[in-house]
Each structure stands twice: as C-alpha cells, then as structure tokens.
C-alpha cells in the first residue's frame, strides 16, 4: 500500500528539522555550510542568466569595454607597447574592436572571433600591443564550449597569427617562446571550455535520465492503478453480481411460497439474510484493503475462495431455485490462484444462468482434473421451454471479459456460447493447462 503522505504543517515538529529551522528565529538557526551557500548562490545566478541572458552579456561586455578604455586613456598600454607613437584614434578603434564584440560571444562565438581577428592583426602590426587582445581567449573558450571541436583548428590559427606578425615585425624574443606562450594560453582556454562542456553534458544527461525515470515511474503507477481498478471491479462484480442474483431468486421463490407455504417463505427469507451477510462480509474485506490506515481498522485476513468453497456456492444457487448437478473426475491439486479462477468462472456461469436461463432451467457442472495440474470445467444450463419468460443470452458486460482475463493469467482457454441446435441453453468451458516449471 502507498505510504501516507503528510504536509509539512501536519508533520510533528521533531520529525521536520528543516521546517523547524525555517520557523526558528534567524539567530537560533544553525550556520549554513559555505559550500551549500556557494552552490545555492551559483544556482540563483545561473537561473537569472537563463531568464535574462542579454542583461548578463551587456554587463560583462561593459566591464571589458570600460577596462580597455581605461588602459587606453590612462596610458597603461605604453608599458608594453612596441610603438609609443601609435595614433590615439587607432588605439580607441582597436580597444572597441577587441572588446565590444564580446556582447555576442555566447550566441555567435565563431563570428565574434572572425570580427576580432582583423583588429588583433592591426594591433600586432602597428606595435600598439594592447592587452585587450587577450579577450580572444575568452571567445576561444566559448567556441570549445558550444561549437564543434573541429572549429578549434582555425580558431587556434587566428589566435596565433597576431603573435607571429608581432614577432616577425619587431623581432623581440625567439619564435618558440612567443608562439609557445600564446599556444599554451589557447590550450588552457580550450581545456577549460571542454571541461565545462563535458560537465554540462553529463548534468543534462542525468537530468534527462531523471525525467525519463520519473515519466516511466508515473506510467508504471498509472498502469498499476488501472490494473488494480480492473481487479477490484472484477472482484466486486463477482461478489455482488452473484449474491444479488441468488437473493433475487430467493425473493421470487419466497413471494410465490408466501401464500401457500409460510414455512418455505421463512426459509427463503433466512437464506436471503445469510446470503446478504456473506456478500457484505466479502465486500467489506475487499474494501478494507483500500484503506490507508491499517492500524485503525486492520483488514480481515480471510483467504480467497477456492475449490472447497464450491459446495457452499452450489448450495446457495440451489436454494435460489436452480437445480445443479455436479460431476467430478480426478483429484484436485491446484494452487490457490488457479482455484480462485475456477471458483470465479463457475460462480459467473451460475450467476448468468440465474439471470438469463429462465425459471425452469437446470445446470450441470463437470470437473476434470489432470495428473499434472491441468483442469477442465464445463458448465451447461438447459431450458425446458415451458416458461412464460423467454431466456436471454448473457451480455458482454464485466462477467465474460472478467472470466477471460482470469483464464489468460494461466495460459488457459475459455469458451462461452449457446449450445448447438437443437439443444437449448448456454455452455461455458474452461481449460487450464498444466503448470510450467519456472
């Protein structure tokens, strides 16, 4: 049975420490670990970025544009430049050309790198050597993070070209040192991008798997609930339908006997009371298992009906006015599940006979048990034809589909239909094969 669910307000105070901490004053709450605080803050920043990506990009780009302009106007670029006489307009153009395109670094990193490449080449050729050119590494990081990895080849070439131009034009330091340092920086940016990309892909895979497992769990729960509803409906149909049919037969017989034989009418009333109490007890037992609270009203642990209960079933049908003759061939050695199937099929067949075969009908039941657990049951009813109420065939309600479902559980077959002409009546034949060892 599913566990009982509690709302936080219903749960005891000692069993809900998180809720207790939230209700407690801030001064009395335990200190939150730094890692949890950092993780929660990071999640909030990422959620804000997903909701407002342009706002975050504008702030980041504005920061680097401001830093580039400060380097230009403050003269800090002169400390490492190869050409202190670089014109101011060129320095301003290079500063903006190498920083402003960062606004689209996440959505179009390859295009941004292509836009920055001419400014980086001019920066190296002119000898200005502005440090803002290092922002190309940030763009390469985003290429490694979002673009196909094959794009890293030409991206690396674009990043190394300005270094090669500067080394060839101004000749400071050897080629291995200049190219190697820039290549190492590019490799670090690429590795960081690939690491973050791998982590994101792994997290997305876990989230997708969790979603699929949740969907599968919900589907399995719905399937189990539907199967349980079908089982309960089948059991209620077998219990209520059969007992109500018996009660109806007893009531009709008691009404006719009331004027001629009051003793027979009293017997019919006693039988109605007994049958009603049995039906109520079985129905209560079935409904008790649906209760969430097992401690307040524990369900009755009575076993399901089996072959030993068939005699009581037949006696009840006979008391309702339907003559029943039984024949048994072989020995009964069936597990409880198969016994319940046989019992329910016989019960449904006799119920249909009471409801549809007419008041002068008779029934015959033949049981044939095999040596290895197979069983064959045939229930036939007849109608003498001298009735004022015509017999009707059982309808395809819950009865016949329920019998077929029970039979299919054990790989058996069920045949239900009218008897061949010229015989009158209905025939139900059940066959359960021998059990297959697991």
The answer to whether residue 346 is domain-embedded is yes
Q: Does residue 183 lie within any of the structural domains?
A: no
From 145, 172, 199, the end of a domain falls on 172
Numbers of helices and strands, H then E, in the chain: 13, 5
* Cα 99 from Cα 135, distance rounded (Å): 7
Contact between 58 and 103 (Cβ < 8 Å):
yes
Dump strand ranges (E) for 271-384.
324-329, 361-369, 375-383
- Determine, yes or no, domain membership for 280: no
Name residues whose C-beta falls within 8 Å of residue 156's C-beta, 6 or more positions apart in sequence: 140, 183, 186, 190
Torsion of CA 281, 283, 286, 288, to 10 degrees: -70
**In 53-174, which ranges are continuous DSSP H helix?**
53-74, 88-99, 109-126, 136-146, 151-170
Structural domain range at position 346? 306-438
> Within a domain: residue 248?
no
Domain boundary among 142, 172, 202: 172
Q: Which two tokens stand for residue 10?
A: 């219903």
Q: Would you state the pLDDT for residue 19? A: 44
Say how many domains are in the chain.
Answer: 2
Domain C-terminal end among 172, 188, 204: 172
Determine, yes or no, domain membership for 195: no
Residue among 151, 182, 41, 49 at smallest CA distance from 106: 49
User: One digit per residue, pLDDT tens: the chain, 438 residues?
Assistant: 344 333 334 444 444 444 444 444 544 555 557 788 888 888 888 888 888 888 888 988 999 999 989 988 888 888 888 888 889 899 999 999 999 999 998 889 999 999 999 999 999 898 888 888 899 999 999 999 999 989 999 999 998 999 888 888 887 666 777 788 888 999 999 999 999 999 989 988 998 998 898 888 888 888 877 776 776 666 666 666 666 666 766 676 666 666 666 766 666 676 777 767 766 766 666 666 555 444 444 444 556 777 888 888 888 888 777 888 999 888 777 887 888 888 888 888 888 887 777 767 889 999 988 877 788 999 998 865 444 444 445 555 556 777 787 788 788 888 888 888 778 888 899 998 887 655
CA–CA distance, 130 with 128 (Å, rounded to integer):
6
Q: For residue 184, is it within any domain?
A: no
In a domain, 275, yes or no: no
Residue reference for tokens 């509690």: 6
What is the distance between the alpha carbons of residues 224 and 230, in angstroms, rounded to a whole number?
10
d(CA 182, CA 225): 64
**C-alpha distance across the termini of the chain, in Å:** 27
Look at residue 376 and tell me if it is in a domain: yes
HSE (side-chain half, CA atoms, 13 Å) at 67 = 14
What is the pLDDT at residue 217?
A: 85
Q: Report the CATH number that the domain containing residue 317 is assigned in CATH.
A: 3.30.565.10
């Amino acid at each position: 049975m599913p566990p009982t669910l509690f709302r936080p307000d219903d749960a005891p105070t000692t069993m809900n420490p998180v809720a207790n901490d939230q209700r407690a004053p801030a001064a009395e709450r335990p200190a939150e670990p730094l890692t949890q605080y950092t993780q929660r803050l990071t999640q909030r920043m990422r959620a804000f970025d997903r909701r407002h990506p342009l706002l975050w990009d504008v702030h980041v780009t504005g920061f680097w544009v401001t830093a580039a302009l400060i380097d230009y106007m403050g003269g800090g670029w002169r400390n490492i430049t190869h050409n202190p006489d670089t014109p101011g307009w060129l320095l301003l153009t290079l500063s903006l050309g190498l920083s402003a395109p960062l606004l689209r670094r996440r959505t179009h990193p390859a295009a941004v790198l292509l836009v920055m490449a001419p400014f980086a080449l001019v920066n190296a050729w002119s000898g200005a050597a502005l440090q803002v050119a290092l922002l190309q590494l940030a763009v390469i990081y985003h290429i490694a993070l979002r673009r196909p990895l094959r794009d890293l080849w030409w991206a690396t070439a674009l990043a190394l070209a300005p270094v090669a131009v500067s080394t060839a034009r101004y000749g400071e330091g050897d080629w291995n040192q200049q190219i190697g340092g820039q290549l190492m920086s590019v490799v670090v940016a690429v590795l960081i991008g690939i690491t973050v990309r791998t982590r994101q892909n792994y997290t997305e895979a876990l989230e997708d798997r969790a979603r699929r497992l949740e969907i599968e769990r919900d589907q399995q729960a719905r399937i189990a609930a539907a199967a349980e509803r079908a089982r309960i409906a089948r059991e209620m149909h077998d219990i209520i339908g059969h007992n109500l049919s018996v009660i109806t037969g007893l009531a009709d017989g008691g009404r006719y006997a009331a004027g001629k034989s009051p003793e027979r009418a009293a017997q019919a009333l006693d039988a109605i009371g007994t049958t009603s109490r049995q039906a109520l007890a079985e129905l209560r037992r079935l409904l008790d298992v649906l209760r969430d609270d097992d401690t307040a009203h524990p369900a009755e642990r009575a076993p399901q009906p089996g072959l030993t209960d068939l005699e009581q079933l037949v006696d009840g049908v006979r008391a309702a006015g339907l003559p029943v003759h039984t024949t048994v061939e072989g020995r009964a050695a069936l597990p409880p599940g198969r016994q319940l199937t046989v019992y329910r099929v016989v019960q449904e067949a006799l119920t249909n006979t009471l409801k549809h075969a007419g008041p002068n009908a008779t029934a015959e039941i033949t049981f044939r048990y095999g040596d290895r657990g197979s069983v064959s049951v045939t229930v036939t009813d007849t109608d003498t034809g001298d009735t004022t109420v015509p017999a009707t065939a059982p309808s395809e309600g819950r009865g016949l589909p329920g019998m077929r479902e029970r039979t299919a559980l054990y790989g058996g077959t069920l045949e239900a239909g009218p008897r061949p002409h010229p015989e009158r009546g209905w025939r139900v034949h059940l066959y359960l094969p021998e059990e297959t060892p697991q």
